[in-house]
Structure 1
Amino acid sequence: MQDQPAISRFPVPDLADMPEDIRMRILAVQEKSGFVPNVFLVLAHRPDEFRAFFAYHDALMDKPGNLTKAEREMIVVATSTLNQCQYCVVAHGAILRIRAKNPLIADQVAVNYRKADITDRQKAMIEFGIKVSGEAHKVGEDDMARLKTFGFDEEDIWDIAAIAAFFGLSNRLANITNMRPNAEFYALGRTM
């Protein structure tokens, strides 16, 4: 087998050299998942930004609300596809498969959410997330009214927009750093 490419074009600190709080978070993730997702190692290059990034990530992705955790991941996969972020499509695709308990859903959403086996409500949610990701300056009252016809309230709309916006930042960082998806992500959630 060939040598694996570097996970980042920027320096990646050794776990032993990381601040204690970051090292403990990474070890907890490793214990839960069985491996360390490369995003943790790459972003540890800048500890203050690592902390801010994951605090906002957790606030958006782990909160209770009308959007399920799987729906939040659908937004990530679809907008990351738009932004051509290999890391996020692969990693969050794995998380989506697991959270939706559906081995096909992530590929369907990544390739063409309009033809995916998801609800019209979810398609409207993704469509709005994509608009926020690519053309936020065009978002208007018609967009809000349309989402409300699917039962989304203002807090839901904020969540969809915030997830799309946050992952726009994440996608750009992943692309700039040349962040590589862990091989483990490709197989996760493929069999149920």
Structure 2
Amino acid sequence: MASHLVAKLVRLPVLAQFASLPGREAAATIRRFSSEVPPEKISRYPVPYKKDLPYDIVALMEEVESKGGFLPNVFKVLSHRPAEFRAFFAYYNELMNKETGRLTKADREMIVVATSNHNKCLYCVISHGALHRIYSKNPTLSDQVIVNYEAAELGPRELAMLDFAMAVCRCDTITEQHFKSLEKVGFDREDAWDIAAIAAFFAMSNRLAHLTDMRPNLEFYNMGRMPRDKSKDKTEGKGK
């Protein structure tokens, strides 16, 4: 497939996921606090220079960085293998940015947080915990899920969803009872596939993060923890 076609398949949808990153001003603030910290090694594998990468991958990286104010390290690390990079983000988009089914974006991020925590994946727990805070507008729930989702402030729907995701994550034998538990709270079998596919995909992602020793961006740690100052946005808008 020609690179420009790949770009159309991969480039635009991924921005829906990362457009909620804090923006240049917030990212710059975070960087000011950490400016004296030595640059962190983000992978045990070489991270390619942009000049050595295919055009469509560079274009995607630049657009994500422009929209979010920083480039998540997963893009840099996986660019070590461009063909796999494209395949990874194509499937990622299908799972995490789709508009069909009964899972919200916050639901999807919660599944990633819970299963990645079970798999001991620092990168995915931190980065998707940040995205959950943004989509849910709840600054504490993802932290509760990380510690113990069964004791978190979740309703029956979210508990059933995570129970099913964790059964897939642990490779439990899936039975009809699992599907019935989901159906009781309003999910159907297509939703079950989505929940399972997210758990399965991120099991793979977690293990790639282990392999590469992928490190989370410092920006992720503070994202979504403080309410956005809307009055400041209005003031800035008037000044333009």
Q: Could you say which TM-score interval applies, normalised by the shorter chain?
A: over 0.9
**1:77-124 superposed Cα distances (whole Å, 9 cap, x missing partner):** 000000000000000000000000011011011111112122111011
1:171 equivalent to 2:206? Answer yes
Question: RMSD in angstroms over aligned alpha carbons?
Answer: 1.0
SS of 2:171's partner is helix
For 2:70, the equivalent position in structure 1 comes to 35
1:146 to partner: Cα distance: 1.1
Q: 1:112 aligns with which of 118, 125, 148?
A: 148
Q: 2:127 aligns with which of 66, 91, 99?
A: 91
Structure 1: which amino acid aligns with 2:128?
Answer: H
1:135 equivalent to 2:135? Answer no
Structure 1: which amino acid aligns with 2:163?
Answer: E
TM-score by length of 2: 0.78
| Structure with higher RCO (Cα < 8 A, 6+ apart) | 1
Give the distance between the partners of 2:154 and 2:177, measured in 1 at CA: 23
Give the distance between the partners of 1:2 and 1:58, measured in 2 at CA: 33
Aligned-pair identity (%):
55
Gaps of at least 5 residues in structure 2 are 1-35, 228-240
Structure 1: which amino acid aligns with 2:109?
Answer: E
Structure 1 segment 17-166 matched on structure 2, within 5 A: 17-64=52-99, 65-136=101-172, 138-166=173-201
Give the distance between the partners of 1:18 and 1:9, measured in 2 at CA: 19
Larger Rg: 2
Give the distance between the partners of 1:98 and 1:121, measured in 2 at CA: 20
1:2 to partner: Cα distance: 5.2
Give the distance between the partners of 1:79 and 1:39, measured in 2 at CA: 18
Q: How many residues align?
A: 191
